[in-house]
Amino acid sequence: MKLLSKKAMCNSHGQDSSYFLGWEEYEKNPYDETRNPKGIIQMGLAENQLSFDLLESWLTQNPDAAAFKRNGNSIFRELALFQDYHGLPAFKDALVQFMSEIRGNKVSFDSNKLVLTAGATSANETLMFCLADPGDAFLLPTPYYPGFDRDLKWRTGAEIVPIQCTSSNGFRITESALEEAYKEAERRNLRVKGVLVTNPSNPLGSTLTKKELQLLLTFVSTKQIHLISDEIYSGTVFNSPKFVSVMEVLIENNYMYTEVWDRVHIVYSLSKDLGLPGFRVGAIYSNDDMIVSAATKMSSFGLISSQTQYLLSALLSDQKFMKNYVSENQKRLKKRHEMLVGGLKQIGIRCLESNAGLFCWVDMRHLLSSNTFDGEMELWKKIVYEVGLNISPGSSCHCTEPGWFRACFANMSEDTLNIAIQRLKAFVDSRDNKDDIQNQKHSNKKKSFSKWVFRLSFNERQRER
């Protein structure tokens, strides 16, 4: 008799993906400037560590928030006993205000339609539980965040059908790709319940255009399905075009109070914009009262601590600080992005043009030994084990074209990023030198063969005479 559940014994978590395997190799041999300078540099983790000094400065200037005090009086007991899964009203009000600020105050949010969750991971899974039954499908444009295979499918039983996007148009979503994905789901006898997109995209680092968002809204309207817009990177946009939320396009296209209005849901988190993944702060925003009600009940399985909510409500309510923080953080992201893109360009490696996020979508197709995913894995293993960099191969993101990789740039110091670029340069140079030697050998063989043919021909002619 088996003593464990099927879920415990199944292999559907996705932990065997190269995305997670790269992390495991890094953890065995992590780079450290002094203790382990030859270790693996972690470029597979989308963390934002560029603006901690700003947050730490605010904490120093606002000691009451971190000490759980209000007007100088301790509220520790009050917070320690609070366990309402609706969340602290002050925090929810501050969070929706911050979400509006990031979107240029072009849209506003109602805190009564906000559900707090323990991070965006929990938010996305909760929406799956609310919108899909086991065996139902959601369409996702490729390439997509590898963790979605775990977050959306593992416990819910939902399925993912890829919307195949290609480099020919910068991996943009097209009507034909949407329709083909829907037909593929039908061929697999899957009921499509919706489309999920990340905007800005992880791993592309690019924002969706208004045209793409309008296309998506038309598609879900026609098919009578849901649209989830994961906008976790909305505050990281550092170059034009500016970020456009699906909520803005809904209003512009007069979808308010239609059926579509209730079928569009936003996921958000403070993990990327504020660099606080350890605080586990996420949220679902929906205009559908039933979704809000069901998701709120489900949130009891993954609450945000009341202490965290109190601290962050004080931080987010300081609008002057937050405005300066967002602006300065975006400047730092832009500088770091330019550093990586420029460094790679100097060694002959180009990146997809991007304007957001904590990573670049890197084109290494010219370094493949063969234009196959086996060739991609061969290159990836060399970069991990020989070069000492953990980057995420495109195949882990379900990219249809081998040779693309996601490289993160905001989770390390400038010095460490420079070392990573120099390591990659040495690797490319060594490959080029090997190619030169091989070409020289090939050229010498051709010359020797030509001389041999000439001598043979000459001797034949001499004999004929």
**Shared-domain flag, residues 249 and 396:** no
Write b or e for each residue in 292-317: b if 16 or more Cβ atoms lie within 10 A of its Cβ, otherwise e.
bebbbebbeebbbbbebbbbbbbbbb
Q: Do residue 354 and residue 277 come from a single domain?
A: no
Are residues 312 and 328 both part of a single domain? no
DSSP state of 387: I
Q: Give the pLDDT confidence of 308-365 residue by residue, as tens digits.
A: 998 999 999 999 999 999 999 999 999 999 999 999 999 999 999 999 999 999 999 9
Verify that 21 and 47 share a domain, yes or no: yes
Whether residues 47 and 101 fall in one domain: no
pLDDT tens sequence across 38-77 = 999 999 999 999 999 999 999 999 998 888 888 888 888 8
For residues 337 and 296, membership in a common domain is answered with no
Query: Are residues 268 and 362 located together in one domain of the fold?
Result: no
How far apart CA 257 and CA 262 sit, in angstroms, is 7
Question: According to the model, what pLDDT value does residue 5 have?
Answer: 75
Domain total for the chain?
A: 2
| Structural domain of 345 | 6-52+323-427
Q: How confident is the model at residue 20 (pLDDT cuts 50, 70, 90)?
A: confident
Q: What share of the chain is helix, strand, coil (3-state, %, to 5)?
A: 50, 15, 35
Provide the pLDDT for residue 463.
42
Judge if 196 and 85 occupy the same domain: yes
Strands 404-408 and 392-393: antiparallel
pLDDT of 183 higher than 70: yes
Same domain, 162 and 265: yes
Residues 279 and 386 in one domain: no
Residue 42 domain-assigned (yes or no) = yes
Q: Please tell me whether residues 285 and 411 are part of one structural domain.
A: no
| Count of CB atoms situated within 10 Å of the CB of 206 | 22
Q: Which residues are catalytic?
A: 145, 230, 232, 272
Are 18 and 115 in a shared domain?
Answer: no
The pLDDT value recorded for residue 15 is 67
Across residues 80-88, what is the average pLDDT? 82
187: CATH = 3.40.640.10
Q: Is residue 127 part of a domain?
A: yes
